[in-house]
Structure 1
């Protein structure tokens, strides 16, 4: 791009260029406003004479192979408004001269190998709107001053090694709408029963403090809860404790993630009701929450994860509009009849509970189901034919239960099923299975530790994409069919503890990495 005969812009993005570049050759272009060479394989370093690019307003060398440290001359680009050095191999610290970027609006140095403390000179970039220093190795505490940057909209420091006490004033005073400090080692000054958030600026819509070492509670006696205008709140994988707040008068919150903490007590009814919040995703997994979960009437909630708690009682009577439900690793009891009133579920995990009885035959509302895990319960009865009608099912895990009767061979001919886990039940009888005429996507088949018997069908050789086959711990007899050699993708084959006779097939797949015939 030229301006009155002078080059104003050099744009070489996404061209697959692979070379070592000396950017100083562009310094003679005195009218150069934009230099963009992103998403190539260009190596080299930033030149020491960056200050010679007097007119430069836009510099993007992201997603290349640049290395070495950031030159002090970077701070001499007084006209620069947008700078992206993301996705390279820059190392060392950010030079204090960075404060010389008087016109900077967007600064992205994410996905590099930078280290050292964050310089306080960053807080003097008063016009900065977007600041992303994520996925580096920055250490020490976050310097004061970011909360006073009046134009700041995005503050992203996630995936570093920042430590020290988290200053709640940053959240109370900032003008940013997006704050991500996740994946660091920040701690809070709050004690176990003390509220760690004194307040949240009404400007913040997205707040992520997950995977730190923050302690304290979300509530305190006599203090009103204040979650500002948050749409997304992620405090997962910290050390927060106490009971959950009621989340009254929180009208904007759409995503709430509090998993991996030490919260206890019941789940507040407001989080599951249809007339209080507009939540679409709720994750309270891996806590110590207890009590029953009666009804879920929310019309907005799509994804619900309550796994790995100590919740008890029967399964919820209703599940509202939930499409993804994970209640695994709890203490739910009773049978599965309540599923008959559930909605259009797509992913359902009820594994590792105390559920008993058969799978109901009438589950027509599960036609969107693509993942079903009922493993490690006390379910029994024969495998219901209704599960063969789930046309979108990709994973079915009924292992470690007490299912009996024959194997539903129609499951094996499914065109969508990728994983079938039926191990450790009491399935019996022979497998009457002919070679498939249609393509299947089955990758994993585990029938181990049942009472299946007879000859192992030659038709299994038509599973040409199978990667893992486990039929150990049954009563199969005869010889292993040579058609097994047709499964050229097979990596693991387990046939131990059966009654096979005769020699092993000479054409076992070369892809095998694990084979047990003991």
Structure 2
């Protein structure tokens, strides 16, 4: 009997094991929802305690960030439809997707804007009831899992703003219910598989933008997605022509193909099919040929952007009369023909940019009658005739640029241009006097009248303006230059006018007699000869002294007369003289023999540029002259290292002031700093040729003069160190990351809008009184995130605005806050240009 029992023991054990396993699986399947959610929570790192109140003692439908359907929430039954919205909570850790996917009825999951730093969990494919999955900006990396194709009921998939790499799996075509697919701002590569778009016919929204490593033509199958309303493919390496099948996308409201390598003509009938289109952006490609007619049928069109191509012929005639059109950007093409008169009463145009084309004829008289027009620029064309005197009848007109045309006649009185910020009329044939009434325009900041035939004196009324630029060079002006203009601007903006006189100019107004002039000239020549002889003797003595010694590998180039030698420069590279540290090296304060002080930025990772290349780049930067730009006085070169010499200011940098124990600067002075920095950047971006991007803007690069007038320093370093060394240095500077625009990591080509983002961070520092780096904040580490967390709260403004500032300034600070939030928008296209920032700050 005993032996029989022993013989059956293995069978008993097997049955017992199966029973235990079955019971365990059943218990697991019936595990309460709140236990599953608490298991999921336990896998997370929650530094801000956002999920601290999740507790089994409280119904899970009442937990923060958990949403249940109304009927189920009343009973807290396991049949509830549950959504988790955990975006922007600073979460990290290993996601327990196994527990999460056993939550019955889990319909929505958002883990966006967190810091998980892991691959997309494959087990999320088991969340069979998911309808919406948002993992955007969650620091996910690695390949895009094809297993997500198992989520058959998914209608929205958002993985934007991560480091997802590799190809887009064709298996995702199984997601036939998908309406939203957002993969923008990743590192996707390769060719898009045709099957993917052949089956996703329910898509309303598709965004593949900012994937610079894609190497794909535009899939013709996209044209079969008849439900598509928003299509964003900008900046993703697409090439070839636009397929004719795109004409089937009749529901499109927004189409952005900009910043790719697309070529060829635009398909005929392109506009006829898109009668619901609101925004069209084909800019910065290689399109050619005439733009097809039919766009006049796009009666809802608001933005027409085709700049940076090789289009020829005339702009479509019906374009100008579209009732809702706000923006026409066609600059940098080969368009020709005459500009039509506009339907002044009905037009809603705000911005017309036609620069660098071959347009001819007169400027339309109706431009100034469009009440919403704030920018009209048509430089580098063949326009002729006079400048309409009603060009500023639009109360919004802020920017006029018709430079480098064949315009003639007098510069009209522009008394009604009360909003005018920038007036550019250079390189035309204007004659007569500069209107004194320009001095009455309250916000006029930039005036360029150079290379015309203007005569008479420079009006003293221009001294009423707070000018950042006045260029009247190469005209026929005469007489004394108003004193404030001479002291505030370098002579380069006045040159080419022999009749002008004043302090610092060749003609000092108090003209001596010809005899005295001759004697003075002779004395000058004699002094020069004597000085040259002494210099030669000194040089000969030095050469003898150092004969036989190896020549120094260092080359010193000075753009302004300062007394310093290479030996003195390197003797001062001592730790006690360090006044700043940045991504590219240390900044030293050096006192010269004559008591003058300079700041020297030593670039230790300066690439492999030759001396000649560095000199050429430094010349470009050293020629920049603006009251809000720090002057570069020289540089010192040796292979592998460059040291840049700047003017020095006793008050130090804005960062020094913000990091002081108490930031005591008043709001008016803070606003003055913000406006000055904005004016300096606007000059670099829009007024200096060639355009210069700063790319290292931060509060430590904003120097302060005695009257708190800021000087922007550290600009254009990337031109000297080159891109590879520049990016490598930035990656090593953790403190700088707070100022870097989010698109920096996935774009090849830097843009002005990256500088705008950095400026927005500085503006937030001035508004809050807090540094950009927030090491003591519990809920985030940078000021942009800190502000975003609070701005929509009921008392958000009270938490954000610096409490040390008087309540009387609250309204202005609130307006500045709104501007700073726009400047730090995640999407570059939503940030304002710097000339707009200047205009808005001037109104404060």
1:286 match? 308
For residues 308 and 413 of structure 1, the distance between their equivalents in structure 2, rounded to whole angstroms, comes to 34
Moved more, 137-146 or 428-437: 428-437
Distance 1:467 1:22, change over 3 A: farther
Equivalent in the alignment of 1:167: 193
Indicate the structure with greater helix content.
2
Residue equivalent to 1:33: 61
**Correspondence 1:88 to 2:114:** yes
Task: Determine the structure 1 residue equivalent to 2:429.
Answer: 402
* Post-superposition offset of 1:113: 2.7
Relative to structure 1, is the Cα distance of residues 135 and 512 closer, same or farther in structure 2, using a 3 angstrom cutoff? closer
1:150/1:468 CA distance change after superposition, 3 Å: farther
| Alignment deviations for residues 202-256 of structure 1 (CA, whole Å, 9 cap, x no partner) | 2211111111122232345xx7931231111111222222221212343222222
Q: Which residue of 2 aligns with 1:110?
A: 136
Cα distance, 1:19–1:454 mapped onto 2, change above 3 Å: farther
1:256 has 2:280 as partner: yes
Q: Evaluate the alpha carbon distance shift between residue 19 and residue 313 of structure 1 in structure 2; reply closer, same or farther with a 3 A threshold.
A: same
What is the aligned residue count?
455
Residue 218 of structure 1 pairs with residue 246 of structure 2: no
Instruction: Quote the residue 1:374 is aligned against.
Output: 402
Q: Name whichever of 204-213 and 343-352 sits farther off.
A: 343-352
The answer to whether the 8 Å contact 1:207/1:233 transfers is: yes
Q: 1:227 aligns with which of 240, 243, 249?
A: 249
The answer (yes or no) to whether the contact 2:356–2:380 under 8 Å persists in 1 is yes
- Counterpart among 409, 429, 443 of residue 456 in structure 2: 429
Shift in alpha-carbon separation, 1:62–1:54, aligned structure 2, 3 A: farther
1:196·1:217 contact (CA, 8 Å) conserved in 2? no
- Corresponding residue of 1:299: 323
User: Could you say which structure has the larger radius of gyration?
Assistant: 2
* Residue 292 (structure 2) aligns with: 268
Residue 491 (1) aligns with residue 631 (2): no
Matches of 1:509 and 1:262, distance apart in 2: 49
Task: Compute the displacement of 1:119 (Å).
Answer: 0.9
What TM-score, normalized by structure 2, do the two folds share? Answer: 0.48
1:57-76 matches, within 5 Å, as 57-68=82-93, 70-73=95-98, 75-76=100-101
Q: Deviations over 1:141-174 (max 9, x none)?
A: 1112444424433211111111121234444432
Name the SS of the counterpart of 2:123 in structure 1: helix
* 2:180 pairs with one of 154, 158, 168: 154
Cα deviation, residue 413, structure 1: 2.8
Q: 1:24 to 1:226 in 2, by over 3 A?
A: same
> 1-side partners of 2:462 and 2:444: how far apart?
17
Give distance in 2, aligned partners of 1:58 and 1:467. 62
Q: Is the 8 A contact 2:341 2:367 kept in 1?
A: no
Unaligned runs of 5+ in 1: 1-5, 11-17, 39-52, 481-488, 495-506
Look up the SS of the partner of 2:117 in the other structure.
strand
Distance in 2 (CA, whole Å) between partners of 1:294 and 1:478 is 52
Which has a greater percent of strand?
1
Per the alignment, residue 230 of structure 2 pairs with: 206
Alpha-carbon distance between aligned partners in 1 of 2:427 and 2:92, rounded to the nearest angstrom: 53
Does residue 316 of structure 2 align to residue 316 of structure 1? no
SS at match of 2:54: helix
CA contact (8 A) 1:359 1:383 kept: yes
Q: Give 1:308 shift.
A: 1.4
Aligned pairs for 1:378-389 (under 5 A) are 378-385=406-413, 387-389=414-416
Q: State the partner residue of 2:153.
A: 127
- CA displacement 1:40-82 (0-9 Å, x = unmatched): xxxxxxxxxxxxx998934334234334554555754534433
Deviation, 1:449, is: 4.7
**Contact 1:357 / 1:379 at 8 angstroms: preserved in 2?**
yes
Q: Deviations over 1:276-298 (max 9, x none)?
A: 64322211221111112363333
Distance 1:206 1:34 in 2: 36
Counterpart in the other structure of 2:214? 186
Which residue number in structure 1 is paired with residue 355 of structure 2? 328
Structure 1 vs Structure 2 CA RMSD: 4.1
Question: In structure 2, how many angstroms separate the alpha carbons of the residues matched to 1:90 and 1:405?
Answer: 67
Q: Greater shift after overlay, 358-367 or 371-380?
A: 358-367
Gaps of 5+ in 2: 1-33, 39-45, 67-77, 505-625, 632-704, 714-844
Aligned 8 A contact 2:356 2:379 in 1: yes
